[in-house]
Amino acid sequence: MREQERQGVSIRQVARERGVSWRTAKKYMESTSPPHYKERVLKPSKLDPFMEYIKGRLELFPLNARKLYEEIQAKGYDGRYTLVKEFVRPIKRDKAIAAELRFETKPGEQAQVDWFHFGPIEVDGQRKTLWCFSMILSFSRARFITYTTDVTTPTFIQAHLDAFGFFDGWTDTILYDNTKNVVIKRALKSSDSKFNPLYEDFARYHGITPRLCKPGIDGAKTKGKIERTGQYIRGNFFMGLDFSSIGDLNGKAIGWCNKVNSQVHSTTNAIPLDRLKEEHLKPIDSRSPYQIIITEIRKVSRDCYISVRGNKYSIPWKHAGREAKLFINGTRMDVQIGGETVCTHEIVTTAHRYIRVKEHFAGLYKEKWHRHHDAHIRRIEGRFSGSPPVLLKDPSQAEIQVQKRDLAVYDALVNRRNKA
């Protein structure tokens, strides 16, 4: 700074270059001796008496700063939590192990499954969310993906069945995150968790043991194969892809799976389809196909319809106002009332439609006319005493009754008109 002063550089310019105020620059430029700093005296910290205790606890257990803070509070610490947190952070960082152990499974032992969100899409004029179901076999790294516009449990199970068909079998266990499709309430011990009853029935039928990831980052690492697959799908398949429908998209997805499963995998240095032969999966033909039957309750409206997934389906008119039990299996819906199947419908995919079966209304209008006519007769019978006039129920058989008058009546009417 003194040399710059001798060269004629201004104080303000020196201050800007050195990043100090002009007063500081002026002080040093005018000084004749090097600056002298006093030795800093460290003040005692409230945390000092507890530092050895904290270090000892961290040697035994990987406790967090909050837990340690509560422990030393019980021992008399009255300082701030931030002091504890700042003291603990470097100790835990030094103890952390940066290296990670890759976990490999035996053939046929495990598959990993997850949903991936792919943003909004327009289907039949409606805006929906596009989801990708993905399954990867942990040993062979063989992949399967399929796209849907919902993440309901029946769709989730159907995607499993499609994957089993693609791989021609399934593994002993499947690893999931804590999706509601699998587990409704997660317990500390996986076997104590409350599982989704529809998924539980599906898993029991196939002899599959579901495995649940730990929550948080550690859980994501345990299913790293499927996590990396999600990134690969976005970059290698979906980005820049043109498709006309969900069916067209899934057709291209199967083609992509066949392609990547035929290429050398960067981790195993082997072709997934070759290793798939070593998986020895539970064969798909070992039992009859699993039936996904959803049971729902609906009330038949007065106009003889029930509402299902945004559409109206007709029901035989005699059951209007009654409670109906629906059995939905894929695109087929059986309607039971009073333990009897009264009709069957094919589920349509578009919304806001009326699916009307003409036979469901056969005889309705005739029955309504008869009931109305019978009520009319009862009203007339209540008004008249004695023998009421006889009315036929069938209007096609009714005779026209013409009142008979004397001709003199008509002569009188004619004379009255002429005088007027």
Hey, what are 182's tokens?
Answer: 């699998």
Angle of helix 65-74 relative to helix 51-60, nearest 10 degrees, comes to: 130
Q: State yes or no: pLDDT of 24 exceeds 50.
A: yes
Bridge partners of 295, per DSSP, are 327
**Cα 162 versus chain centre, distance:** 18
Hey, what are 336's tokens?
Answer: 């039971």
Higher confidence at residue 295 or residue 256? 256
Going from the C-alpha of 14 to that of each of 8, 120, 319, the distances in angstroms are 10, 57, 95
Q: What is the mean pLDDT of residues 93-114?
A: 76
The one-letter code for the residue type at 54 is I
Query: Residue ranges per domain, the chain?
Result: 1-36, 48-95, 110-286, 293-361
Q: Are 338 and 351 in contact (CB under 8 A)?
A: no
Q: State yes or no: pLDDT of 208 exceeds 90.
A: yes
pLDDT of residue 84: 93
3-class secondary structure per residue, the chain: CHHHHHCCCCHHHHHHHHCCCHHHHHHHHHCCCCCCCCCCCCCCCCCHHHHHHHHHHHHHCCCCHHHHHHHHHHCCCCCCHHHHHHHHHHHHHHHCCCCCCCCCCCCCCEEEEEEEEEEEEEECCEEEEEEEEEEEECCCCCEEEEEECCCCHHHHHHHHHHHHHHHCEECCEEEECCCCCCEEECCCCHHHCEECHHHHHHHHHHCCEEEECCCCHHHHHHCHHHHHHHHHHHHHHHCCCCCCCHHHHHHHHHHHHHHHCCCCCCCCCCCHHHHHCCCCCEEHHHCCCCCCEEEEEEECCCCCEEEECCEEEECCHHHCCCEEEEEEECCEEEEEECCEEEEEEECCCCCCCEECCHHHHCCHHHHHHHHHHHHHHHHHHHHCCCCCCCCCCCHHHCCCCCCCCCHHHHHHHHHHHHHC
Q: State yes or no: pLDDT of 97 exceeds 80.
A: no
Q: In 10 A of CB 280, how many CB atoms? A: 13
**What's domain 110-286's architecture?**
2-Layer Sandwich (3.30)
Hey, what are 291's tokens?
Answer: 């039936």
Q: State yes or no: pLDDT of 410 exceeds 90.
A: no
pLDDT of residue 255: 96
Q: State yes or no: pLDDT of 288 exceeds 80.
A: yes
Lowest pLDDT segment from 29-38, 173-182, 188-197, 381-390: 381-390
Q: State yes or no: pLDDT of 386 exceeds 60.
A: no
Query: What are the pLDDT digits (tens) for 218-261?
Result: 555 556 677 778 888 998 899 889 998 899 999 999 999 999 99
Q: State yes or no: pLDDT of 392 exceeds 50.
A: no
Going from the C-alpha of 242 to that of each of 149, 238, 245, the distances in angstroms are 17, 9, 10
Lowest pLDDT segment from 81-85, 199-203, 333-337, 346-350: 346-350
The one-letter code for the residue type at 285 is D
3-class secondary structure per residue, 204-229: HHHCCEEEECCCCHHHHHHCHHHHHH
pLDDT of residue 161: 95
What is the torsion angle, in degrees rounded to the nearest 10, for the CA atoms of residue 134, residue 135, residue 136 and residue 138? 140
Q: What is the mean pLDDT of residues 349-366?
A: 87
What is the overall mean pLDDT for the chain? 84
Higher confidence at residue 74 or residue 289? 74
Q: In 10 A of CB 311, how many CB atoms? A: 18
Higher confidence at residue 110 or residue 412? 110
Phi, psi of 305 (to 5 degrees): -135, 155
Q: What is the mean pLDDT of residues 276-301?
A: 89
The top-scoring range by mean pLDDT among 93-97, 120-124, 312-316 is: 312-316
Q: What angle do CA 193, 199, 205 make, to 5 degrees?
A: 110
pLDDT of residue 98: 53
